[in-house]
Structure 1
């Protein structure tokens, strides 16, 4: 019990910074579905720093502006190639779950894919300790990796 209290105390004073990006090829719809999970306070801070404007993701005064900022930020920091070709992420939306923001994107017109190359430096400029987890699924096979700041590139073959 004492050990659990100590670990909780340490995490309070030494928070961890992690994001999770899921990339799923959907052969039925011939699309790639992308979702990114980040702590919303870290994301708000990154948006405020990059765009020099106050951002409230949970209760936005202007949801269209928040959508625009999220789209621009993520497209700059999450770059995906499918079989060597750069894909264009189409923003679907976002939602808040507990202390995290989930953002969703889609890429249509990809009937099959053998290789994904991913550049993911989301929140790297905010936290030297940032860790970005990547999970990529093609044909039911899931592969994962961890990117420790400043490492931002990964490749997945299927």
Structure 2
């Protein structure tokens, strides 16, 4: 099993490689789910390499994709929402949830996507079903963090596995 330090080192190398124009050797996405007790929500953020994300969106939806284009922002929002809602599902306390798409932003070579689940009064468990980029790479790794207060549960999910359950 890889240590978290090793995974972080690999992610740093991958980010440097992309910035230097080298195709990144690591196919990874991260998803973080934070329980906001005050607002009674699950706040979800996903981070995906933009070049990989644009590739899968173009492949699936057969159209021009440019996540950096301000003129295409509304269209890109629709495609990102469609993709994420079909590749990321959550259960809270054993019950399915409805993910609300908030939006996305580009941060250098990565795309950050924000979603939210409303009306979660308390959290005992979160089940994550993550297949982001599985339809592009058969060596995809998903790093998942679930945070409740000061407690963080983390794992890596390697293709073809797709589920993680965090119990609190």
The two structures share one fold, judged by TM-score above 0.5 = yes
Query: C-alpha distance in 2, partners of 1:83/1:32?
Result: 12
Q: Which residue number corresponds to residue 77 of structure 1?
A: 87
Whether 2:88 is the aligned partner of 1:67: answer no
Query: C-alpha distance in 1, partners of 2:23/2:53?
Result: 19
The number of aligned residues is: 150
Residues 60 and 66 in structure 1, CA contact (< 8 A), matched pair in contact too: no
- What secondary structure is seen at the aligned counterpart in 2 of 1:68? helix
Q: Which residue number corresponds to residue 117 of structure 2?
A: 107
Q: Which residue number corresponds to residue 127 of structure 1?
A: 137
Query: C-alpha distance in 2, partners of 1:15/1:61?
Result: 31
Picking from 84, 106, 111, the partner of 1:96 is 106
Q: Deviations over 1:32-60 (max 9, x none)?
A: 10000000110111111111111100125
Q: Which residue number corresponds to residue 66 of structure 2?
A: 56
What is the Cα-based RMSD across aligned positions, in Å?
Answer: 1.6
The two structures have a TM-score, normalised by structure 1, of 0.90
Q: Which residue number corresponds to residue 33 of structure 1?
A: 43
- Unaligned 5+ residue runs, structure 2? 1-12
Any runs of at least 4 consecutive aligned residues in structure 1 with deviations exceeding 6 A, and if so which? none
Residue 13 of structure 1, CA deviation: 6.1
The two structures have a TM-score, normalised by structure 2, of 0.85
* Residue 114 to residue 53, structure 1, CA distance change in 2 (3 Å): same
